[in-house]
Amino acid sequence: MAKLSEYAFVASMITTGLALALYLFYAVSGLRAARMATAGGPGASTPVGLISGPRTAAIGRYASILTWLATVFLLVSLVFRAVVTGHGPFANMYEFSMAFAFGVLLTYLYFERKYHQRILALVTLPVALGMLLYAATIPADIEPLVPALQNNLLLTVHVATAIVAYGSFAIAFAASYLFLLQTRHMIPVLATTAIGVGGAALGAITGGADGDKLALTYGMVGAGASLLILAIVDWITNRGTPADELASGRWGLPKPMVLDEIGYRAVVIGFPFLTLTIILGAVWAETAWGRYWGWDPKETASLVTWLIYGAYLHARVMRGWRGNRAAWLLVIGFLATLLTYFGNLIFQGLHAYGGLS
Amino acid sequence: MTHEVNSRPLPPAATTAPAAAARPSAMDRVDGGLEWLWHFISSMRVAMIIMLAIAVLGVFGSLLVQAPQAVLDDPAAKAEWLESVRPKYGGWTNVFDTVGLFQVFNSIMFRILVAALTISLIACSIHRIPGMIHTARNPRVDVGPAFFEHAPQHEAIVVRRSVEETREVVENVLRSRRYRTLSSVDGTVHIYADRFRLAPFAGLAGHLSLVVIMAGAIIGGMYGYRDSQFTLAEGQTLPVAAEPGVTIQLLDFTDRYDPTTGAPIDYASQVVLYKDGAEVLRHTVRVNDPVRYNGLSFYQAFYGAAATMSVKDDEGNVLMASEGVPLAWTTNDEGRKIGSFNIPGTPYVGWVTGTLGNGDTFIAPGQVRFELYTTGEGTLVDQKVINQGEAATIGNLTVTFERESQFTGLNIARDPGVPLIWIGSFLLFVGFVIRFTVPHKRIWGRIVSRPNGGAVVGMATLTHKDVTAGSEFEHVVNDIRTALAAPTQA
Ligand code: HEM
């Protein structure tokens, strides 16, 4: 069983990689078609999204099928593992990273079905793949649960709601990222991403599996910090995105208006789920430690995340904040989500899991 | 607030005239200032900035090590604590300390922000309630013609029927879709239809639930009781300070470990609670399974070694029979486990020091050191290293170290704010879920007769069409169109 779980995990990782490659193909093929369509001179109306020629559409369909497969593999892996361990995926970072990736894939598929914007996969699938790769580098040992974690039902639900929230926030991040790419800030946004991905890759190469993760950390922190600076600069210099800019797009990417809507829809799912996660965490803390809130670093980070998305829900309906400014809040919200998630590695709070000492 | 929310503006004619504008204030300056303050504190922009500011503090609070409250209360301990983190933060240590970042959640800044958010939540809700009630109860039915041309979604249908007939058809369709309909006639027929008119109140409940949660936290802080250092050895019975007449006894403590990894699996304390000497309940307290009695909760927190002792006086009267003494303290120099107990019926305190294990020549395994002090001055009366199971004479007492045992460390808490926390949490979740899933749907209609027979129906709504999904408004309009196109009966 444990072996089967591992095979399914590897299969899922490979399938996710292949799906991402196909989505890239799909994007290139579609973008080329879009460019040819808009090359008709100034004033040519920009298309709603990618122009799907039959070829592009076929690639897209295969990419979706692979994503479904990857999700099923991951589910199988999680189920087998749960059967072996006798509990939900919350005992260590390996299990929780798999669950995180599963949440991202699942919410992506939901949004793909609902909004037909496959381009979102270009941002969400790397997040899922990154989580899976990360899971692959850390010990997968099955260890007995420490007493505090022996609250099977509550913790399983706590984790399940957390991954739905995190998955939704990944979608919101993808949507806001593609939104910002189409505004004037595209070059800094791309550069920041390059720093982050480059730093992370450098870390993976130099740091190795569970060795020194310094470069990785610096890469991520660097990317996060520069995104934050960009956000602040944009908040100060730009007030909201005008309606005409929302309605037009660039390079055949989904229109900013559509991305704004998707980002909002994702938060409308993620926010209540995060609320529930925090409440269940408080219930658990109350039964295990006798206090519902203790400013434990992980608790605090989840509250920070919650506040940022709460702020976003207001920003989105405020004059001057619609569009780019609100979109930045989604980027920052996702940074906070990652901080909450990887917090275990930095914080030495009560949430410190086993398997990573 | 309404001036800031631009996604759902009211129809031009339906804008509830701001109360302030309606009656020009006589007391100019003060009123103006108050009004400005009111606008400021009930503004969504300000609320959002407060939320983000708390988030920024939270980031520091989660990334930087936070000093325990006990450390902060004691300048010497604080200095020591600062030195212990100095290697980590270097020159920043003093800066962080000055700004209060080592105790973010106790800082003045944090308290001010939380208070401001609470006030803002209350102000905001008060500000909204009248408008919300008005919208739910007597919404504006007659809106001007311009609205039907500029609303986010609007449609016009030309029909052959009379105005009255048309009105009936339109209202029937709306009712069959479970809309409530209101109408007024002034030459033109105005129709207002809505569904889920109470749904916006769920959003209000969601916001106010946060005030409930803060109230719970404040009540807990003011009237709560917590003893996180309560130790109880096997066989020992101790009074519970927070509840007069209640005593708690530990029958047995068990700790289990995984045989291969050595990771802890279980900590279990079998306890009995007595009220005025009579047993009231029995429970095995585990990490996720506290025992609760009369508002008090007992949680498994820690554990350690204890010594089971018996004491007799010089006449052979039993002062203490096989009672555990928790060795919950650690000596500074050698790191020995040590604990003390008052010897009943004597003016003495006994201190018991444990062994360091194999190779300890001073107190070997199977031995403890016993020191007898007077209760008041704390003068040493006598001391001895004694063997397990052998009665030894110390001072004028006979002391026996019966056996090694264990003590359990319990966290005893009473938090009267907790029910409010759970009520608030429930309202928070349910409130926002309803707010997100059940929109208040509103549709306005307007029927005017055409000069040469028939009528024109205008329909409009304030919700924007979902950019990708279909729209309820379209469905409604289609239904109405179909119904109106059907042949007229008689
Ligand atoms: C931690 C504090 C807060 C949280 C978590 C919170 C959360 C929310 C949420 C989830 C919504 C629904 C958004 C939507 O449907 O798009 C909302 C709307 C709103 N909030 Fe807040 N809010 C908070 C504080 C405040 C404060 C202090 C104010 C007052 C200035 C305020 C005013 C509003 C208004 C006017 C709306 C729009 C009306 C409505 O949707 O009901 N909020 N808030």
Q: In the numeric block, which tokens belong to residue A41?
A: 């001179």
Over pLDDT 70: what percentage of chain B?
Answer: 92
Q: How many CB atoms lie within 10 A of CB B195?
A: 17
Distance between CA A198 and CA A220 in Å, rounded? Answer: 9
- Identify which of B44, B300, B425 has the shortest CB distance to residue A318: B44
Between A324-346 and A152-181, two packed helices, what is the crossing angle to 10 degrees? 140
A314 lines ligand 1 (CB under 6 A): yes
Sign of CA dihedral B483, B484, B485, B490: positive
Per-residue b or e along B119-146, where b marks 16 or more CB atoms closer than 10 Å to that residue's CB: ebbbbbbebbeebbeebbeebbbbbeee
- Nearest atom (ligand 1) to Cα of B1: 35
Interface test with chain B among A111, A314, A341, by most B beta carbons within 10 Å:
A314
Q: Do A318 and B418 touch (CB under 8 A)?
A: no
Q: Are strands B225-233 and B397-414 parallel, antiparallel or unpaired?
A: antiparallel
Would the pLDDT of B59 be above 60? Answer: yes
Would the pLDDT of B488 be above 70? Answer: no
- Identify which of A276, A287, A317 has the shortest CB distance to residue B5: A317
B207 lines ligand 1 (CB under 6 A): yes
pLDDT given for residue A214 in this prediction: 58
Q: How many CB atoms lie within 10 A of CB B472?
A: 18
Q: Which residues of B fall within a CB distance of 8 Å from A258?
A: 467-468
Q: Do A317 and B6 touch (CB under 8 A)?
A: yes
Q: How far apart are the CA of B387 and the centre of ligand 1, in A?
A: 69
CB A338 within 8 A of CB A287: no
Would the pLDDT of B467 be above 70? Answer: no
pLDDT given for residue A195 in this prediction: 72
pLDDT given for residue B2 in this prediction: 34
Residue whose CA lies nearest to ligand 1 atom number 8: A310
pLDDT given for residue A115 in this prediction: 83
Q: How far apart are the CA of A314 and the centre of ligand 1, in A?
A: 6
B120 lines ligand 1 (CB under 6 A): yes
Tell me what the mean pLDDT of segment A83-93 comes to: 80
**pLDDT, mean over chain A:** 80
Q: Which residues of A fall within a CB distance of 8 Å from B258?
A: 143-144
Q: Which of A34-48, A94-108, A148-162, B465-479 is predicted most confidently?
A: A94-108
pLDDT given for residue A1 in this prediction: 75
What would the pLDDT profile of A310-351 be if each residue is shown by its tens digit? 999 999 888 878 888 889 999 999 999 988 887 666 544 334
Based on DSSP, count helices (H) and strands (E) in chain B, helices before strands. Answer: 12, 20
Least confident of A123-132, A347-356, B195-204, B427-436: A347-356
Q: Could you tell me which residues are beta bridge partners of residue B252? A: B270
A98/B321: higher pLDDT: A98
- Nearest atom (ligand 1) to Cα of B46: 30
Distance from CA of A12 to the nearest CA of B (A): 30
Distance between CA A90 and CA A13 in Å, rounded? Answer: 20
Q: Could you tell me which residues are beta bridge partners of residue A152? A: none
Q: In the numeric block, which tokens belong to residue B64?
A: 């930087």
Radius of gyration of chain B (CA): 37
B425/A45: higher pLDDT: B425
Beta strand residue intervals within B36-188, DSSP E: 153-159, 180-185
Residue whose CA lies nearest to ligand 1 atom number 38: B203
B1 lines ligand 1 (CB under 6 A): yes
Q: Do A290 and B301 touch (CB under 8 A)?
A: yes
What would the pLDDT profile of B230-255 be if each residue is shown by its tens digit? 888 888 888 888 888 899 988 888 88
Phi, psi for residue B373 in degrees, rounded to 5: -120, 155
Is B45 an 8 Å CB contact of chain A?
Answer: yes
pLDDT given for residue B375 in this prediction: 85
Tell me what the mean pLDDT of segment A116-135 comes to: 88
Q: In the numeric block, which tokens belong to residue B227?
A: 């003893």
Is B55 an 8 Å CB contact of chain A?
Answer: yes
| CA distances in angstroms from A205 to A137, A138, A198, A243, A247, listed in the order given | 12, 15, 10, 45, 42
pLDDT given for residue B490 in this prediction: 42
Specify the DSSP element, H or E, that contains B477: helix B472-485
Q: How many CB atoms lie within 10 A of CB A126?
A: 19
Query: Using alpha carbons only, what angle is made at residue A101 by residues A97 and A102, rounded to the nearest 5 degrees?
Result: 115
**B435: nearest CA partner in chain A:** A268
- Helical residues (DSSP H) of B345-438, grouped into ranges: 418-437
Over pLDDT 90: what percentage of chain B?
Answer: 25
Q: How many CB atoms lie within 10 A of CB B47?
A: 23
A184 lines ligand 1 (CB under 6 A): no
Q: In the numeric block, which tokens belong to residue A51?
A: 């122009």
Q: Which residues of A fall within a CB distance of 8 Å from B213?
A: none
pLDDT given for residue B3 in this prediction: 36
Sign of CA dihedral B291, B297, B302, B303: negative
Residue whose CA lies nearest to ligand 1 atom number 32: B44
Q: pTM for the whole thing?
A: 0.86
Q: Are strands B367-374 and B380-387 parallel, antiparallel or unpaired?
A: antiparallel
Would the pLDDT of B6 be above 70? Answer: no
Would the pLDDT of B94 be above 90? Answer: no
- Helical residues (DSSP H) of chain A, grouped into ranges: 2-38, 54-85, 93-115, 121-137, 152-181, 186-207, 214-237, 243-247, 256-289, 297-315, 324-346
B126 lines ligand 1 (CB under 6 A): no
Would the pLDDT of A275 be above 90? Answer: yes
Over pLDDT 90: what percentage of chain A?
Answer: 27
pLDDT given for residue A217 in this prediction: 64
Q: Do A268 and B48 touch (CB under 8 A)?
A: no
Would the pLDDT of B219 be above 90? Answer: yes
- Identify which of A146, A276, A319 has the shortest CB distance to residue B6: A319
Length of chain B: 490
pLDDT given for residue A164 in this prediction: 94
Mutate to test the pocket of ligand 1, among A314, A321, A322 (most ligand atoms within 8 A of CB): A314
CB A232 within 8 A of CB A131: no
Tell me what the mean pLDDT of segment B108-130 comes to: 93
Q: Could you tell me which residues are beta bridge partners of residue B305? A: B406
Least confident of B23-37, B65-79, B213-227: B23-37
**B2: nearest CA partner in chain A:** A318
Mutate to test the pocket of ligand 1, among B39, B196, B207 (most ligand atoms within 8 A of CB): B207
A225/B446: higher pLDDT: B446
Is B288 an 8 Å CB contact of chain A?
Answer: yes
pLDDT given for residue A87 in this prediction: 80
Tell me what the mean pLDDT of segment A266-278 comes to: 96
How is the beta sheet containing B367-374 ordered, strand by strand? Answer: B329-330, B337-342, B348-353, B367-374, B380-387
Q: In the numeric block, which tokens belong to residue B414?
A: 């009473």
Q: Which residues of B fall within a CB distance of 8 Å from A310?
A: 51
Distance from CA of A286 to the nearest CA of B (A): 9
**ipTM (interface predicted TM):** 0.88
* pLDDT class of B52 with cuts at 50, 70, 90: very high
* pLDDT class of A40 with cuts at 50, 70, 90: very low
Interface test with chain B among A312, A317, A338, by most B beta carbons within 10 Å:
A317
Residue whose CA lies nearest to ligand 1 atom number 41: B203
Distance between CA A90 and CA A87 in Å, rounded? Answer: 8
Tell me what the mean pLDDT of segment B190-204 comes to: 92
